[in-house]
Structure 1
């Protein structure tokens, strides 16, 4: 084998490993991270900022260079693998961004409401199924008990309308008007906020038959998510920097200087800027904002009553992995003195990371060139074995999730940052409780190394204080739910382990119980104190599973229902498609052909209604004792006292 062929083999081996999954670069450089810190101080044109782990950009050029380096291929956040072609690698089989976001009803969604419009007291009505009580989330259906607002389903064209339906007489609804744009909706008293395609607008709907536009702003960024809390509208906007990115203008004419964007103090898989913004829903004016470097791939956004948590990935690139391995005791012993000296000198060079990667390959090539054939083959094998062992030792360092908390009290500001191994699934992977953040992550599969799943507990400074590791070996997380001091995690590959966690002691979280059953759950919803519902699939059909968690050490499957003949439920994509009505002890889940209502009382799942909309159902709501089931262009009204259809409405 020629020297060039040897070099290519070595480079390919390193590329497969180094591009894999990965972050935690400082961890790969040693316990104190000295080598990485030195590298940053010599070669990073960025200077620093608000927190020891957060920084800002020294100039627009530094901002541009940061994103150029991140997208150059040296550092990529995309799913890659150590595995040979055809073997399941680190791509998270849907990951975040393709996986369903999941949520639960607000605490009072099934009870009487006490709000008023003018001098009219509202009827009992549902609210959007949300993750955190008191934090309303955007959806295509909103109601205040008098009117319903339904945006033509989000996959239709951008110029579709939002229908307004009078539901003051809930058994005899009527369409009374429309708004000429469509999108995700939030209802702030008499103001309907529409988050559409490249635009956001607010409408006065105090007279639903004659809505009046109050404001409209163009969006140069994508709305990642939004929340409505105590009359304030919070937006999380995502902008992908282009060839001339500075300043960033994500919302209306508000310009954000690139030097004001917060970034991690060490390199990350940066491909986007996330802007958290507080907006007055009545005027559309931006009141406060904070922008943070982020990554779209394998990240999640979570909002609590105290802060907005933005996550990003940090992946170990080829150069980092090779250099850190060769700088370790085992790796350094492989090299001769000439190669070690050249490697040390490489750290002092003020050149790009890509140039250093090329130089490292030349160093390896020259090292092999000083050997005879037998020595070269032995060195090559020792390099491969050593690198593989090094990867196994640092499995949890190869891809990590960085987290930035933006406090929302007063001016929005990046207040803390932290980092944990692995990547989250979606917003439900994170939860804030009693001053701690809990986050569930998947440590991806790499060649010869099984995937694992962890849960970490972080304090208010986002320092890890407790963890449970090694759940579902050779599987990945499909759903997570945190509820007070308890946690529930579902992992899956061939079977569905349902784990119950005790999180009452943040410094010592433990696994209480485990239940294995066929299929998997992509959404977990606490129905009552001791009942948790899982919505997912089995044999490619939607499935609902009822769990009894009264004894956390021994969770029990009480009942399950498979929607035979169906192929899809919108709950698998978004939690807002799910509805629970506690007053009647039922829940709604749409199917691909029909929509279903199940009674969950008595420890069994009983189908009490099946609604035919002539196609897939999208959403449901209740007003009084009437359930409204919406499809693409129509709604069906069902009397919840006898489950008979009482009206059909064309939209």
Structure 2
């Protein structure tokens, strides 16, 4: 008995799905012979209100994404119903349903190296572990209200945009959100700590809610599992709730910029009751179907993403714009100029099947099957209807062979399919990108498309008017590859680097000015260095292979990059030296006797203190302090009762937070100065 390799197994499964349809087919003389548009087709809206922008221009790809607005609730509902029946399948066969393009990597275990859960498990926020250009990781600030002369701020992607986290401070007062599972009230508490004397902090109040926090002058905004709340903390010892708003769905993203709160709220769409959409429940604005933007080419969209500008002092929504995307693939990146939302933009699977059958597979078919497939190609019917008819045509064609002939033909098809998939792999999975301008009125201002799928928000970066985006490209029966694309302000692709890390996927991305660092992984950790200074000619300069993988990267200056990840299940730190970009090397590494760090769950958990030349890694039982200026040296481990979750510095004191405790360490001696149980009144 012949044993197939994983790749050949995958090809066989894909071809079985392609050739052996379980669908009943269309009745003879029925829809297939009546080339009419699908009823309620939302694409009939051609009022020209939405932008139309070309994306990646492959020689075999005339894909030209465009965005429009629905002209009625009927059109919206019809689009959703079609989305439900147009999942990316190559066909249905062997009584096992379809083969999803994004799920066909036989033999590859997709490890969950990133999570969208907040620290209290209540609200899905953007807390992926990589970083982007302009990150203010551990950036210090100077207090203007007394207290510490310097203090650390949240580790963020863009220096000018604050991000929600469980720990916030203005250098004088600290706000720390407890973990909900230990809470008395079921939600947890936000502890208010007076740090005006950095060596002697004291708890002064509690806010009866927990979530991720933003601090806008004298207002703390809490994003919990089902509500947004604002608290006046002009008197920190007496916080007062000033507004509260329900969240119908979940907060996908939140940012604070120039005193304005920007939210992206995701609501699952229902074809049976599509509108109005209420992203903030009955407390907020209603979104009509005709206010929702959508990709005019049918996608598997299922979620409405509403970008809102909110006054953090009052909770009032000042502006909003909505887009219909796909929860399965959406990543959200926010720059100083725009919100970028991605969505599944893979082409019609029926069209891909037809293209294969009428090119590489054509010589294996008889004239009748070819004639019927060519006529089918011209009909304006739904993707689902085309797939059903393809199954019917192929079933009838296969019935003309005996058992042995059928096996031989299917082997020939496997070879043809593998060749086709290798040549056209960047047509199988694509990502659409929508740009929502936030400078002035909120508006959908551009749309584009690239092959593959980004890991998360950190795969994207806006720099000098261009968007850089790194993706993993997959196709059935073909080893995955990883690409980087550069898009202009209209989201047209102007440059690309393709084919990195064959048979691997992206685990982290870091943009630092004109350089991009990409880590891919399957069994080893390739560290790729790219020159992206010329948007039209990005270049892969060098790569380095080493054990383990990095899920977060942080620049240390002078072409040194710190990677945080894992090796053999243990937390690993590694310093890459990319001063010679064509030959990057490992300067030093350290594998901890610790199997977890909060940095895996959130980039916000990483802290660096440049004054003392150290960084802090929270661990499962305390936190680890490493010096990094001359290699890696463990300075101390700060003990906590359970996992350490966050840390910050005030002057020369390191504040380490556990689930509901605070340990203060003197950074000049590394001795513990004070311990606070935050649950004690």
Does the alignment pair 1:247 with 2:244? Answer: no
1 CA distance for matches of 2:113 and 2:137? 33
Partner of 2:25: none
Residue correspondence of structure 1 range 388-399 to structure 2 within 5 A: 388-399=418-429
CA deviation map 1:170-195 (0-9, x unaligned): 11111111111110100000011101
Q: Helix, strand or coil for the counterpart of 1:145?
A: coil
* CA distances 1:482-531 after superposition (whole Å, capped 9, x unpaired): 01001111111121111111111111111222222211111000122332
Alpha-carbon distance between aligned partners in 2 of 1:636 and 1:552, rounded to the nearest angstrom: 41
Matched, 1:175 2:172: no
Shift of residue 445, structure 1, vs aligned partner: 6.0
Q: Which residue of 2 aligns with 1:546?
A: 575
Residue 58 of structure 1: CA displacement?
2.6
| CA positional deviation for 1:569 | 0.5
Q: Distance in 2 between matches of 1:145 and 1:593?
A: 27
1:594-609 aligned within 5 A: 594-601=622-629, 603-609=630-636
1:153 aligns with 2:179: yes
- Counterpart of 1:136 in structure 2 is 162
> Does 1:621 find its partner at 2:648?
yes
Report the CA distance shift for 1:40/1:355 in structure 2 as closer, same or farther (over 3 A).
closer
CA drift at 1:144: 0.3
- Tell me which of 313, 317, 321 is aligned to 2:344: 313
Residue by residue, what CA displacement relative to the aligned partner does 1:205-235 show, whole Å, maximum 9, x if unpaired? 0100111111111000201111111111111
Residues 74 and 317 in structure 1, CA contact (< 8 A), matched pair in contact too? no
Q: Could you tell me how far apart the structure 2 residues matched to 1:415 and 1:40 are?
A: 29
Aligned counterpart, 1:637? 664
For the 8 Å contact 1:306–1:407, the answer to whether it is kept is: yes
**TM-score between both structures, scaled by the size of structure 1:** 0.88
For residues 18 and 267 of structure 1, the distance between their equivalents in structure 2, rounded to whole angstroms, comes to 24
Selected match of 1:54 from 44, 67, 76: 67
Cα contact 1:272–1:296 (8 A) shared by 2: yes
Find the aligned partners of 1:350 and 1:479 in 2 and give their Cα distance: 42
- Tell me the TM-score normalised to structure 2 length: 0.84
Task: State the distance in 1 between where 2:243 and 2:396 align.
Answer: 66
Contact 1:116 1:122 in 2 (8 A): no
RMSD: 2.8
CA deviation digits over 1:414-447, x for unaligned, max 9?
Answer: 1111111111111110001011111111113632
Give 1:88's match in structure 2, choosing from 105, 108, 132: 108
Go from structure 1 to structure 2 and tell me whether the alpha carbon gap of 1:256 and 1:350 turns closer, same or farther (over 3 Å shift): same
The 8 Å contact of residues 138 and 606 in structure 2, kept in 1 or not, is answered as no
Contact 1:149-1:164 within 8 A present in 2 as well: yes
Would you say 1:355 and 2:375 are equivalent positions?
Answer: no
Distance 1:311 1:620 in 2: 32
Q: 1:44 aligns with which of 37, 41, 45?
A: 41
Q: Does residue 515 of structure 2 align to residue 489 of structure 1?
A: no
In the other structure, the counterpart of 1:429 is 459
Query: What's 1:387 paired with?
Result: 417
- Cα distance in 2 between the residues matched to 1:17 and 1:333: 16
SS of aligned partner of 1:501:
strand
- 152-161 or 193-202, which moves further after superposition? 152-161
Counterpart of 2:532? 503
CA contact (8 A) 2:137 2:156 kept: no
**8 Å contact from structure 1 (residues 17, 82) kept in 2:** no
**Residues 18, 322 of structure 1: 8 Å contact kept:** no
Cα deviation, residue 472, structure 1: 1.1
Given that residues 293 and 322 in structure 2 are in contact (C-alpha distance below 8 angstroms), is that contact kept between their aligned partners in structure 1? Answer: yes
Partner of 1:649: 676
* Aligned mates of 2:116, 2:187 — CA distance in 1: 24
Deviation (angstroms), 1:41: 8.9
Asked if 1 retains the 8 angstrom alpha-carbon contact of 2:421 and 2:476, the reply is no
2:330 pairs with one of 296, 299, 320: 299
> What SS does the corresponding residue of 1:248 show, helix, strand or coil?
coil
Alpha-carbon spacing, 1:42–1:382, altered in 2? closer, same or farther (3 Å):
farther
Counterpart Cα distance in 2 of 1:442 and 1:138? 28
Structure 1 residues 318 and 418: alpha-carbon distance in aligned structure 2, compared to 1, 3 A threshold: closer
Q: Who is 1:266 aligned against?
A: 297
Partner of residue 194 from structure 1, selected from 203, 208, 222: 222
Shift of 1:388: 3.1
Q: Which ranges in structure 2 are unaligned for 5 or more consecutive residues?
A: 1-9, 21-34, 53-65, 90-98, 118-126
Tell me the number of residue pairs that the alignment of Structure 1 and Structure 2 aligns.
615
Deviation, 1:10, is: 12
Alpha-carbon distance in 2 for matches of 1:106, 1:366: 59
Tell me what 1:27 maps to.
Answer: none
Query: How much has 1:627 moved relative to structure 2?
Result: 0.9
Does the 8 A contact of 2:598 with 2:619 survive in 1? yes
CA distance in 2, matches of 1:388, 1:78: 16
Alignment correspondent of 2:430: 400
Instruction: State the distance in 1 between where 2:556 and 2:417 align.
Output: 49
Return 121-130 or 376-385, whichever deviates more: 376-385
Q: Taking structure 1 as reference, are residues 230 and 349 closer, same or farther at Cα in structure 2, changes over 3 Å only?
A: same
Matching residue of 2:614: 586
Q: CA deviation at 1:392?
A: 2.0
Cα distance 1:376–1:290, how it changes in 2: closer, same or farther (>3 A)? same
Q: Is the 8 A contact 2:189 2:207 kept in 1?
A: yes
CA distance in 1, matches of 2:521, 2:181: 29
